Amino acid sequence: MSLMAFTNFSQIVTLQGALVKDGRNLSSEDLSIIENASIVFDSNEIKWVGPHTDLPADYAGISTEDFTGKVLLPEVVDSHTHLVFGGDRSNEYSMRLNGADYQEIANAGGGILSTMKSTNNLTQKELLDLAISRVEKIHSYGVGTIEVKSGYGLNYEKEKECSLIIDKLKSHFKGRVQIINTFMAAHAVPAKYSSSNEYLNKVVIPLLKELAPLHIIDAVDIFHESGYFDEVDTQQLFDVASILGIRVKSHADEFQDNKGAILAAKNGALSTDHLLMTSQDGIEALANSSTVATLLPGTGFFLGKPQADAKAFFDAGVKVAIASDYNPGSCHCDNVILIASIAAPHYKMNIAHLWSAITLNAAHALGLKNQGAIQEGLAPRFSIFDVNHIDKITYNWGTNFSIN
Ligand code: NIG
Ligand code: FE
């Protein structure tokens, strides 16, 4: 693509201040908003951004589109979804309203293992078609990068198929939506295995070793939680991933503080996610690391559980992202902008923390260091909204202003 100018935005929200501060300890000014702004870019990078009146004369003849009355932000990223699945678990919602909790429902035959059955009942084509329609819907909100986890196949062949489906999603959406393929065969332990470690060694690790040379896996994730995978399993998987040269992540400290955040930070994980029960030592470990703490408020809302102590994370200087956790069980909501808008007042986030959490920090949670702010030299990844001021997006909870 040759040079292109998008001109006359009411605001370009650059997040340059947030970038300088590595997404931590932000104040509202770190949104670094330019009013009446324009941007010049090619397919690889942003060439120039600034007030329209300062647009260099050299760019006078290039292809130009006018965006009067609109706002441009760094691309919104949903850094945690489980959108390859069959079936639905709508019945669990009313079970919860009747008093059952997530783990009781899982023990009664619901939960991840019930989605495993529905997923195994669908063909690769059926699962891919469902996943494509889910990505289309998420993209319609203005989300341009979506992380997708495998993890509902839970046997060697179906997990392999799920990872290949995510790879197909990646090529299907190439140039339109960036898909990040996270391998999460360590999502739950099927009943036929006597221990989590047996499943890990018979299925998860051999499959990861088979897929790694195909270069389709961007990251490895594990549900480090009691009743799922323990610290020994998690460290073993992290070690294998490290040898294979693949970055790691974890679901940690969701039901109890199992020191998952500390283990993730120690292993240089890209992110560790959930963190509802993480205690101060875990928060400190994250603050002193490059690991992003990804909070998933939709899951707490949906399950009726308490929320993460977000203020403690911000006060300690942790780099915080927010993601949807879109999945059929614990959060059947796919709109990360809505979720972040609802969560921010409860999390006592300022507006720079809110937008960094779903742009800059979310991109870094996926290892995407060349995006997340609007600055010369970074990738031209941005989201455009049909509002004349950024505050109107979060003020109008749940209204979709995206222009795609
Ligand atoms: O992030 N915690 C593990 N995975 C999902 C839940 C998946 C499910 O309930 O199906 C989560 O909440
Ligand atoms: Fe999850």
Amino acid at 21: K
Judge whether 282 and 303 are in contact, CB under 8 Å: no
Task: Give the strand pairing for 292-295 and 63-66.
Answer: unpaired
- Cα 251 to middle of ligand 2, angstroms: 6
In this structure, which ligand is nearest to the CA of 106? 1
Does the Cβ of 325 fall within 6 Å of ligand 1?
yes
Does the Cβ of 115 fall within 6 Å of ligand 1?
yes
The pLDDT of residue 215? 98
Judge whether 77 and 358 are in contact, CB under 8 Å: yes
The pLDDT of residue 109? 87
C-alpha to C-alpha distance for 385 and 401, rounded to whole angstroms = 5
Give the burial class of 94: count Cβ atoms within 10 A of its Cβ; 0-12 exposed, 13-18 middle, 19 or more buried: exposed
- Cα 326 to middle of ligand 2, angstroms: 7
Q: Which atom of ligand 1 is nearest to the CA of 251?
A: 2
Judge whether 323 and 300 are in contact, CB under 8 Å: no
In testing the pocket of ligand 1, which one of 78, 79, 82, 253 has its CB within 8 Å of the most ligand atoms? Answer: 82
Does the Cβ of 278 fall within 6 Å of ligand 1?
no
Q: What structural domains does the chain harbor? A: 4-74+372-403 (2.30.40.10), 76-364 (3.20.20.140)
- In sign, the C-alpha dihedral spanning 214, 216, 218, 221 is negative
In testing the pocket of ligand 1, which one of 112, 189, 225 has its CB within 8 Å of the most ligand atoms? Answer: 112
The pLDDT of residue 95? 93
Task: Give the strand pairing for 4-13 and 63-66.
Answer: parallel
The pLDDT of residue 404? 76
Residue-by-residue DSSP string for 178-242: EEEEEEEEET---TTSSSHHHHIIIIIHHHHHHHGGGT---EEEEEESTTSB-HHHHHHHHHHHH
Does the Cβ of 249 fall within 6 Å of ligand 1?
no
C-alpha to C-alpha distance for 171 and 169, rounded to whole angstroms = 6
The pLDDT of residue 23? 98
The b/e string for 129-149 (b: 16+ C-beta within 10 A; e otherwise) is ebbbebbeebbebbbbbbbbb
Taken as a whole, the chain contains a residue count of 404
Cα–Cα nearest to 82, from 157, 172, 182 = 182
Q: What stretches in the chain show pLDDT beneath 70? A: 1
What is residue 392's three-state secondary structure? helix
Does the Cβ of 299 fall within 6 Å of ligand 1?
yes
Cα–Cα nearest to 322, from 303, 348, 341, 306 = 341
